[in-house]
Amino acid sequence: MAYDSSASLKDRFTYARQSLVEMFPKWLRPGKTYQGFVKALRKIPSEFREQLQLHFCRHHEIWILSDLAYSEIYFDVPPPPSILQVPGAREIAIEFTSMSKTYNMPGWRIGFASGNKTLIGALTRIKSYLDYGAFTPIQVAAAAALNGPQECVDEIRAVYKVRRDCLIEQMGRAGWSIPAPPATMFAWAPIPEPYARIGSLEFSKLLLEKAHVAVSPGIGFGEFGEGYVRIALVENEQRIRQAGRSIRKFLSEPLESMHNVIPLASSRN
Ligand SMILES: Cc1ncc(COP(=O)(O)O)c(C=O)c1O
């Protein structure tokens, strides 16, 4: 498939998607899972990856819209890099971030974008047609958060780390092994056996019904999310322990007791 700037938007997207996959050597191409893709990406030296992306985007006239909402929510690893750290990135990229995670302001609907001048200009124009800017006290609060002391950022990061460690430990006790996420406020958990074959949607419904715990089915994030559920670290430690106990009880129940919900028990042999 060759790039054709007069092709439909859909065809140009298909081309961009396919080219992004094919720019990697075959042995590095995205595997079946998101984790596989991330592992593959990590094998490429970052400077090479960055320059490759920059060159690739310039060549194919692709803009990068980077979403760095979790720039400050990381644990035991270096801070997630910004696309704007790459020399020359401002030629092709704009980066968004949100006050929701870094300053614990979810629902305040405020964040900011920086980067390419043309894209910022276009965003300003579109925003001026769509709305009139955030409520002034919220803008003032956001400016105070950004310009004020930053200790709260470390405190918020520490809260998520404690919750993450608590979740991994509690689920481990319940017999559910979940890789500890190195960043963000979510754990991406493989569906435990023997439930894997019912899929993430059915498993999420079962967890809600039997353990009273709400998780997001991986399939909701696209086909490669199947086989996983996403658990949000939005509850305090006590509630996470409570969820852990409830899930432990659920996972230790004999499958036969759920034969009305899933056909697993009968198909066990
Ligand atoms: C990856 C990512 N980007 C952006 C956002 C948007 O955050 P908000 O709408 O709260 O500013 C979220 C919120 O969960 C997110 O997870």
How remote is the CA of residue 175 from the centroid of ligand 1, in Å?
A: 31
pLDDT at 161 over 90: yes
- How far apart CA 76 and CA 170 sit, in angstroms, is 20
| Residue with CA at minimum distance from ligand 1 atom 5 | 69
- How far apart CA 266 and CA 146 sit, in angstroms, is 58
How remote is the CA of residue 195 from the centroid of ligand 1, in Å?
A: 30
pLDDT at 31 over 50: no
The pLDDT-based confidence of 40 (bands split at 50, 70, 90) is: low
Q: How many domains does the chain have?
A: 2
Question: Which atom of ligand 1 is found nearest the CA of 186?
Answer: 16
pLDDT value, residue 132: 81
**Best substitution site from 71, 100, 112, 184 to test ligand 1's pocket, by max atoms within 8 Å of Cβ?**
100
| Residue with CA at minimum distance from ligand 1 atom 9 | 109
- How far apart CA 209 and CA 213 sit, in angstroms, is 8
Which of 179, 248, 169 is closest to 207 using CA atoms?
248
The pLDDT-based confidence of 32 (bands split at 50, 70, 90) is: very low
Domain residues for the domain of 88 are: 9-147
Mean pLDDT of 51-80: 87
Query: Would strands 216-217 and 186-190 be described as parallel, antiparallel, or unpaired?
Result: unpaired
pLDDT value, residue 59: 81
> Do 109 and 168 share a domain, yes or no?
no
pLDDT value, residue 3: 57
Which of 83, 77, 69, 138 is closest to 110 using CA atoms?
138
Reported pTM: 0.81
Is residue 84 included in any domain, yes or no? Answer: yes
Is residue 39 included in any domain, yes or no? Answer: yes
Question: pLDDT for 97-137, tens place per residue?
Answer: 999 999 999 999 999 999 999 999 999 999 888 888 889 99
Tell which of 147, 181, 213 closes a domain. 147
Q: Which residues make Cβ contacts (< 8 Å) with residue 14, sequence separation at least 6?
A: 1
> Do 17 and 55 share a domain, yes or no?
yes
**Best substitution site from 98, 138, 156 to test ligand 1's pocket, by max atoms within 8 Å of Cβ?**
98
Which two three-digit tokens encode residue 193?
A: 């056996």
Buried b (16+ CB within 10 A) or exposed e, 61-91: ebebeeebbbbbbbbeeeeeebbbebeebbe
Question: pLDDT for 185-229, tens place per residue?
Answer: 999 999 998 899 999 999 999 999 999 999 999 999 888 889 999
Is the Cβ–Cβ distance between 221 and 227 less than 8 Å?
A: no
> Do 99 and 219 share a domain, yes or no?
no
> Do 129 and 159 share a domain, yes or no?
no
∠61-31-19 over CA atoms, to 5°?
A: 20
pLDDT value, residue 52: 67
> Do 162 and 203 share a domain, yes or no?
yes
**109 alpha-carbon distance from chain centroid:** 19
Is the Cβ–Cβ distance between 93 and 63 less than 8 Å?
A: yes
Residues in contact with ligand 1 by the CB-under-6-Å rule are 67, 69, 98, 100, 106, 111
> Do 100 and 142 share a domain, yes or no?
yes
- Average pLDDT of every residue of the chain: 86
CATH of the domain at 73: 3.40.640.10
- How far apart CA 165 and CA 162 sit, in angstroms, is 5
How remote is the CA of residue 197 from the centroid of ligand 1, in Å?
A: 31
